[in-house]
Structure 1
Amino acid sequence: MRDQFFAAYVDGYFPAQMAVSDVDLWRYLVQGFLRLPYKSEMLDKTLSSISCLYLGRIYHDTHMFKYGLQLYNGAIRLLSNMISRNMFNEDIVYTAVIFQEIESYYCPNGLGPWVAHIKGLNAILKHYRNQTNDSPLMGPIYQRYQKLRTIHASSARNLQPDEFKYLAEANDGTPFSEILSIFAELSPIASELNALDSSDLSACQGLLQNCMKTKNHFLKWYCDFRMADGISTDPPPEFLSSDMPLSEHLFGRTYHFLNFDYVLLHLYYWAGLILLYPSTASAKKFVLSHPESNTAPELLTNPLEDEEYLETGVYADEVCRAMRYCVGDHMKVSGLHVTLFPLCAAAQFYCAHGDLEKFSWCMKVVESAAARGHGTAPYLVDLCWKSWFAQNESGPVATISLREAFPEGESAKNYQVVQDVTNEC
């Protein structure tokens, strides 16, 4: 079964011509876990669990899926027992990493357990960091893998002091480690905005300066690491997804990248700038509208002509132009695994500004992930649409029929693959 899982899941994680990713480390890590010369009962049971869960889902084998859940529950008990007795070994970290991945594929009770597993592994790494070494597996988990999952769970907002220190600390110098540390800067900016007195012009100007400083950090990172070199001018390959609508009329020609690392680096670069936008827009609005700023009235009449808004719209479109590269039929769940976070950042921007057509396209991609078995995707769809209705319950956008955006029965069809498995378990 291990060999079958390895062939079906690990080798299929990226196209054959791509090397193991330096950004999304899951393939590298699971290969390392499988090849360890000695594995504790807990880790061995966890590896068997994810094998059964994955194969049970893709082959619609409910008995195998149920057996995977039994193994998972048994591994959780073993992990809890070891932690309660303060019996640390590196298998605890490896097991907790796999738990996070399991929860991203199978989360029948919402996103809470997945977020709890991320917090749990953060606590394990914090508590036992001085007992570990930067082994070929432990170092990447600490420096890149878990930092990315922390950003996924928090959107780099409202970070606790230890989380901020963890994300902002010295990194290993790779492009991805560098951009993760820039993401950490979003949290104090968001906190500063929440506590801001809009009548204090000096404080508003200070916040705007901090926003522009972080924006410049993102822009400098893009230039320093020559990210533009990763976009290929070759014709796009013929492996685009068969269940995705065309997007050229919305976002422009689909991008093709030299490898999967480049597409992920680009996606997170654009996502960081999108997540910075609400703070930047609010700070600029407070500064320009302040009585002491002497702003010309015409600069306040149409915020949709603001330079920051127009630039961020381009960043959101760039995310979507790259997404069709990530949702090819050959990618299965894997190509979508770490791309949903940037896509949802783009969707939030479209939501905030009432662009139903582009927002609906983003939701189509997330629904595609749900149809392929990505357990968190249905909840992301639900959260995004709730956000849409909260933002746009009045105004001209409310006159658009959502049934035109989602023909009857289509969404149900997308979720059928997930429900056929989870409902019977």
Structure 2
Amino acid sequence: MWWMGKADVGSGLSATPGAQNAGIVVRDEPHAGQMISVRPTSPMVMNSASVHRDQIVSSYINIYFPDDIKGSIGLDPWYSLISAVSEMPNKPIMLEKALAATSCIYIGRTKRDNHLLSQGLQLYNGAIRHVSHQLSRKNYTDDLFYTLGIFQVLATLYCPAGLHSLIHQTAVTNGIFQQCFRHVSNTPLIKTLCLAFQRMRLLKALSPMEAKSGVELVIEHSPDELVSDEDQAVDELFHLMAGIAPISAALGMTDVSDDDACHLLLQDSLAHRDKMLSWYSREIRRIGGAPSVGQSGEFPSSTIPSAEHMFGLPYRFPTLDNARIHIVYWAALSILQELIGQAYAYTYPYAPVDSNNKNKEHQLAEYYADEISRGIPYCLQDSMKAWGASGTIFGMGQIAKVYMELGNSEKFMWSQELFKHEAELGSDLAYHMHHLLLFSWDASQKARQGALSPESWSSTSHQSVPATPPSPVSSLSSASTAPFKEEYASMPGTINVPVRPKLESDELEC
């Protein structure tokens, strides 16, 4: 079965405040030699299993989502989906169990209540049986579509088998989504949810954990099907982002000895960047406006260390949706800049580079990564709860990748604090990405040590080699990046000025 498997549930149990508020059974953490006692539930919970499930879902919503949610469906369909489903008067048992399973598993994980986690897994298995029955009968209903959407989100919260299992499950679910979409009702909610899940698929495909050679948005839609001006603008952005994949694929297939092919690839890459920059200048109002500069300590987080000494003051956004759009946009530009840097190196192999073998275009990739780092604190402030953090993982993956490739330990380790924070908020996806990136960091550091020249070894033959060599990238310090940041500070995609300054690479001719 392609669905996530069973989890090992330990014997250590702890009280769950959110669960207590919902009136469900919890157990206290026992002392050595003490019998485990069961706290009785309120009579109200015992009246109906449906009441029990509705209460735990309500508890989950209060824990996971911020108190004041503003903005449209944006880049995260989860709130719209769970709100619509939880308010349905007569939910089928499949949908009810799926929603309750997600709530129990999430609260059980974050509150370390293994009893509640076990209950959630039982509900999940029950929902899976209903899904399997409907799939075997090819009964593609609206309820099946909603249930698959819930499982899609649940997979990121609880994937004990690791990233490969999550990627496989997501791919299979997307295939079933396509079949469902051909049969379900033609409602605005279903259309918008399906488009939103496709956007999530594209983000995963462009992320470091799942690189694809080709990605496209396969669901046909017309502009009048999109729910708002903001959604139409975001739709255009994602179609531009889908155009990054062919550039990446072309880099892998281009013969570096073919000067004409390298020049053409570089020009295509620069042209695509111009399209993305033009999109921002054109659509800035429709996505809610540009961010402003916040104040020091304005967005408090109980676990994320301040990084103002590395990136400057954080950004303040009109809404969480607006923040997520900017983070996705900056991440896409950072990815594209890395590809342009490779194309530039193919075309001009003897052009000046810094001490880390990075050209000007690679440095611009770091600049956009720093912009993401200034935007993330707004999303991760305590008042945004887990939902605020969930929309930043694409940007988090990109900044970690950039800082790793540049060899900057301070910035990279700060990015890992973001993953640890989101993992503590209940995301297994963040947990697995954190460990994957740490493994990659260790491997990159060993590679850097192995790349030391014989001369450097002979000059230090009587000295011990440090476990982590000093970072060769002086451009990562605030002092050395000052001229670079001044040059690009007025670019679209940052703040205020809608015209990008001319770059040397713009003068290249095929």
* TM-score normalised to structure 1 length: 0.84
Percentage of identical aligned residues = 28
Which residue is equivalent to 1:217? Answer: 275
Secondary structure in structure 2 of the residue aligned to 1:122: helix
Matched, 1:350 2:403: yes
Indicate if the aligned counterparts of 2:345 and 2:351 stay in contact, CA closer than 8 A. no
Which position in structure 2 is the counterpart of 1:5? 57
Matches within 5 A, 1:279-318: 279-289=339-349, 299=352, 306-318=359-371
Q: Classify 1:312/1:228 alpha carbon distance in 2 versus 1 (closer, same or farther; 3 Å).
A: farther
1:372-383 equivalent positions in 2, closer than 5 A: 372-383=425-436
Alignment RMSD (CA, Å): 2.7
Aligned to 2:493: none
2:88 alignment partner, one of 20, 23, 36: 36
Aligned 8 A contact 2:248 2:339 in 1: yes
Aligned residue number for residue 187 of structure 2:
135
Q: Deviations over 1:256-283 (max 9, x none)?
A: 1111011101100011011123321111
What letter is aligned with 1:101?
Answer: V
- Write the letter of the residue equivalent to 2:331: A
2:390 corresponds to 1:323: no
**Cα distance, 1:8 vs. partner?**
4.0
Give the drift of 1:393: 1.4
1:207 Cα deviation from its structure 2 partner: 1.4
Which of 170, 180, 205 is the matching residue for 2:263? Answer: 205
Specify which of 435, 449, 466 is matched with residue 399 of structure 1: 466
> 1:220-299 maps to which residues of 2 (within 5 A)?
220-226=278-284, 229-233=289-293, 235=295, 238-289=298-349, 299=352
Identify if the C-alpha distance between structure 1 residues 14 and 20 changes in structure 2 by more than 3 Å, giving closer, same or farther. farther
CA distance in structure 2 between the aligned counterparts of 1:191 and 1:111, rounded to whole angstroms? 23
Q: Which moved more, 1:83-92 or 1:19-28?
A: 19-28
For residues 197 and 10 of structure 1, what CA distance do their matches in structure 2 show?
A: 55
Question: Closer, same or farther in 2 for the Cα pair 1:310/1:59, shift >3 Å?
Answer: closer
Contact 1:43–1:94 (CA<8 Å) still a contact in 2?
Answer: yes
- The structure 2 residue matched to 1:158, chosen from 212, 215, 238, is 212
Partner of 1:117: 169
Please report how far the alpha carbon of residue 58 of structure 1 lies from its aligned counterpart in structure 2 after TM superposition.
3.5
Q: Deviations over 1:331-378 (max 9, x none)?
A: 332221120111110110111111111000000111111222211122
Residue 6 of structure 1: how far off its partner (Å):
2.5
In the TM superposition, 1:64-213 aligns within 5 A as: 64-155=116-207, 157-159=211-213, 163-166=215-218, 172=226, 174-213=232-271
Distance in 2 of aligned mates of 1:170 and 1:304: 45
The farther-off stretch of 277-286 and 168-177 is: 168-177
Supply the distance in 1 between the matched residues of 2:297 and 2:186 (Cα, whole angstroms). Answer: 38
Unaligned runs of 5+ in 2: 1-51, 453-464, 470-510
Report deviation, 1:42: 1.4
Question: Is 1:369 aligned with 2:436?
Answer: no
Over residues 280-322 of structure 1, what are the superposed CA-to-partner deviations in whole Å (9 max), with x where a residue is unaligned? 1111111112xxxxxxx56357676733122211100011111
Tell me: CA distance 1:228–1:94, structure 2 relative to 1, closer, same or farther (3 Å): closer
Partner-residue secondary structure (3-state), 2:374: helix
Residues 287 and 159 of structure 1: CA distance in aligned 2, closer, same or farther (over 3 Å): closer
| Counterpart contact for 1:82–1:88, Cα < 8 Å | yes
For residues 141 and 284 of structure 1, the distance between their equivalents in structure 2, rounded to whole angstroms, comes to: 39
Q: 1:395 to 1:364 in 2, by over 3 A?
A: same
In structure 1, the residue matched to 2:66 is 14
Distance 1:244 1:285 in 2: 37
**1:286 partner amino acid:** Y
**Cα separation, partners in 2 of 1:16 and 1:353, compared to 1, 3 Å:** same
Distance 1:61 1:8 in 2: 14
CA contact (8 A) 1:96 1:117 kept: no
Q: Deviation of residue 119 (structure 1)?
A: 1.3
Find the residue that maps to 1:299 and give its secondary structure: coil
C-alpha change, 1:185 and 1:222, in structure 2 (3 Å) is same
Q: Would the alpha carbon gap of residues 267 and 27 (structure 1) be closer, same or farther in structure 2, given more than 3 Å must change? A: same
1:203–1:170 CA distance, 2 compared to 1 (3 A): farther
**TM-score, normalised to structure 2's length?**
0.71
Which of the pair has the greater relative contact order for Cα pairs under 8 Å at 6+ separation?
A: 1
The AA in structure 2 aligned to 1:56 is G
Offset from partner CA, 1:44-66 (integer Å, 9 cap, x none): 21112112112323433221110
Cα distance in structure 2, aligned partners of 1:58 and 1:65: 10
How big is the shift at 1:167?
7.5
Name the aligned partner's letter for residue 183 of structure 1: M
The structural deviation recorded for 1:228 is 8.5
Q: What per-residue deviation string (whole Å, max 9, x for no partner) do you get for residues 215-274 of structure 1? A: 112211211121693313564775410211110111111111111011101100011011
Structure (1/2) with the larger helix percentage:
1
Q: Which amino acid letter does the alignment assign opposite residue 224 of structure 1?
A: R
Q: Report how many residues are paired.
A: 393
Paired amino acid for 1:241: S
